[in-house]
Amino acid sequence: MTFGRLVTAMVTPFDQDLQIDFDQVDALVEHLIATGTTSIVVCGTTGESPALSHDEKLALFKRVVATAGGRAKVIAGTGSNSTADSVKFSQEAEAVGVDGLLLVVPYYNKPSQEGMYQHFKAIAESVKIPCILYNIPGRTSINMEAETTLRLAEIPNIVATKESSGDFGQISEITSRAPEGFLVYSGDDILTLPMLAAGAYGIISVASHVVGDEMTQMINAFVEGRTTDAADWHKRLTPIFKGLFLATNPTLVKAALQMIGMNVGSVRLPLVEAEEAVVSVVRKRLGQLKQLHA
């Protein structure tokens, strides 16, 4: 199974009472598929997973699976810093029909490299569906080293990693030594093209909510050998990539979605909406990009 090159880490739409707005979930899934998304991550960081209950997450998995209807793969964010809880939740997600799992490096309890290996091994062996590792030291406070990732890559249903370390030495080590079929995804929009050049396969993206078509063109240009075109797209998209992270994710991508007519609502505490001065920067940059390619 392939999850494609442009995977979107989907926001969770809320209504005015900050309850999940399932009608907007449907609309957002349709929008993402129409603008090039090949797979959708549900209940990842961008989906505000720490602020969602267990039952809410399962309801989201079921709804996105039903709405996508096989047109895009659905990847459930089921990883946590409890191995036992992650195993149980991953099995529940598999039972409702998701296509794969995204498993974050355990946060707060700071396991050793061997602890990480045993954690991910236990989860992967408890399910039959493909698993994607997620290394994001900026949020977990620890880095999963290349050797650990490569050990895990030998487990048959661990098929990819989302690398948000920004360490190109580590990324290159993984891409050059990984077994055939094991894929590396960028976890940072702004590093999509550089990581493709270093051997990555695709991106698990935030910006694709609002510039999916443009990102598809950038990726396709690179894959087809049109590197100058790909670099041009990278330069045009960089202001958006940077702008969406001027405040804590996903506050600004939710604001950007509102700008293009997607009523996905606000964020739940402890996140708060970004200041208007920052929102206006994103509005200006998004407007300039869309006007340029109208």
What amino acid positions are annotated as catalytic residues? 134, 162
Amino acid symbol at 9: A
> CB within 8 A of 52, min separation 6: which ones?
12, 43, 60
Q: What value does the CA radius of gyration of the chain take, rounded to a whole number of Å?
A: 18
Question: Hey, what's the torsion of the CAs at 128, 132, 138, 139, to 10 degrees?
Answer: -30
Establish whether 140 is an annotated binding residue.
no
**204 marked as binding residue:** yes
Taking CA atoms, 210 is separated from 128, 206, 246, in Å, by: 33, 9, 16
Give me the helix-helix angle, 22-34 and 54-68, nearest 10°: 50
Instruction: Please say whether the beta carbons of 98 and 61 come within 8 A.
Output: yes
* Neighbour tally for 231: CB within 10 Å: 15
Alpha-carbon distance values, 181 to 3, 196, 220 (Å): 12, 15, 20
Q: Are 248 and 206 in contact (CB under 8 A)?
A: no
The binding site comprises: 46, 204
Which residues are documented as binding site for pyruvate?
Answer: 46, 204
